[in-house]
Amino acid sequence: MNLTVFGIGYVGLVQAAVLAEVGHEVVCVDIDEKKVERLNQGLVPIFEPGLEALVRENHAAGRIRFTTDAAAAVRHGQIQMIAVGTPPGEDGSADLKYVLAVAETIGREMDSAKIVVGKSTVPVGTCEKVKARIAETLKKRGREDIAFDVASNPEFLKEGSAVADCMKPDRIIVGT
């Protein structure tokens, strides 16, 4: 399956590498050009046991790619995963601006049905906000005919065992 992962920080990179390892074609997109360039050179910016080997092997096999081209990344993936940062706002709550910006990008660039999966740490109700942002963007384009759905699949990764946790999770939660 063709998958897109927005955000190649800790959660996004681990998820993308594991999905590539099990045979999916994964395109990872990030706004940080230097990070994308380094990953395309096989330089993994975080230490996590087993991650560097997964990234290098799957990149060499063509199952994982890194880009800043969001439009091409959206077109690539049947499933769009959002794994961007949610920094604390002034009141301490999660700031959803990056999540909603990705949702808008997906709505702007999609030309076929998509499943959008939230991986970022977000509060209850975020799926509805993501769905509304995509629908609003599609409406502006006159493309309400493009089907999509939104789900949440939160991570339960621990530093030092994230690859193993992702490969063999002790629980999987999916919701809307």
| Residue pLDDT, tens place only, 6-45 | 999 999 999 999 999 999 999 999 999 999 999 999 899 9
**Token output for 170:** 């002790």
Distance between CA atoms of 115 and 118, rounded to whole angstroms?
A: 10
Q: Is the pLDDT of residue 135 over 80?
A: yes
**Token output for 64:** 């994982």
Flag whether the pTM goes above 0.85.
yes
The pLDDT of residue 172 is 77
Query: Which DSSP state fits 88?
Result: B
The pLDDT of residue 89 is 83
DSSP reduced 3-state for 29: strand
Distance between CA atoms of 27 and 19, rounded to whole angstroms?
A: 11
- 152 touches 122 (CB < 8 A): yes
Q: What is the fold, at CATH topology level, of the domain defined by 2-167?
A: Rossmann fold (3.40.50)
**Token output for 119:** 């991986």
Domain positions in the chain? 2-167
Distance between CA atoms of 24 and 1, rounded to whole angstroms?
A: 5
DSSP reduced 3-state for 26: strand
Distance between CA atoms of 134 and 107, rounded to whole angstroms?
A: 5
Placement of tokens 């789900």 in the chain: 151
Q: What is 63-76 written as a DSSP string?
A: SEEEES-HHHHHHH
Q: Is the pLDDT of residue 99 over 90?
A: yes
Q: Is the pLDDT of residue 94 over 80?
A: yes
The pLDDT of residue 75 is 97
Average pLDDT over residues 56-81: 97
Q: How confident is the model at residue 159 (pLDDT cuts 50, 70, 90)?
A: confident
Q: How confident is the model at residue 77 (pLDDT cuts 50, 70, 90)?
A: very high
